[in-house]
Structure 1
């Protein structure tokens, strides 16, 4: 994010670094409000990945399943701010760590122990078999989802857990 308001990214002289991504923001925000929170994702084994992990840990987020990917970089977004309605973005997500999330990265027991589960992120839209695996497990979308734009069904352990919970989403 730029250190000051400007009109174009081309004119930004310096940037400030912040935690980001919808899942990171939710995990951080719920933790600083006093709720037990965890983040299940992948980050790169580099400065940005360590920054995200350390920032989440300081806020009290459980990062046991924040996997460090040795061969991919953490996704990055450059954001400019001119005013409340003008904020150019550039996403650096090509072959990034969170796009490599697999069902093997997630413990079904850990998911099953949760009282609430928020599934977010563009990484699930690029998974090799998200819809096939979830539909095979009998996953159906909740009858009253909170938000559904760009909805993708997750696979593996996540899909199996959601299949059980979504049969009665208010269980």
Structure 2
């Protein structure tokens, strides 16, 4: 029997005041409730990534900085990714873009999804993330989870600060659909590689 796909939930913010931990923990809970995958959190704070300063992407030339190599080794073992992202000026965080740029072959032919948060649920950031993912040869799935507007203010500390479970009936359908698609594509990609 093939092994279950292993999915990384990548926290894409490194700010001290970040909100990302809350949606990341909620998404991990949804993933762990499934029997067709395993999941764990990968926190960019745990990696001392420099700003990208290599000769090129590691598709063309091996990375020289040991911190970039450590990042590549850490993400290589996953079969798919869920990125937790805020929206900064209609895009993803600089820390997440830098982390994406620090690898290439490790992302290839693996599915990715996103959970975004902010005024418009990070819709523009998620769309930008999908275009970056295509260039990195990932497979972006159509569904995403967006925590925006009143829901965002209900759970954010600058708003009511409630638990995400208070709004999860607005999120579960998209989360379930996204996780299902990620599992399907991860299994398909693993079978093709096998």
Larger radius of gyration: 1
TM-score (norm 1): 0.31
TM-score (norm 2): 0.28
Structure with the largest fraction of helix: 2
Higher relative contact order (CA 8 A, sep 6+): 2
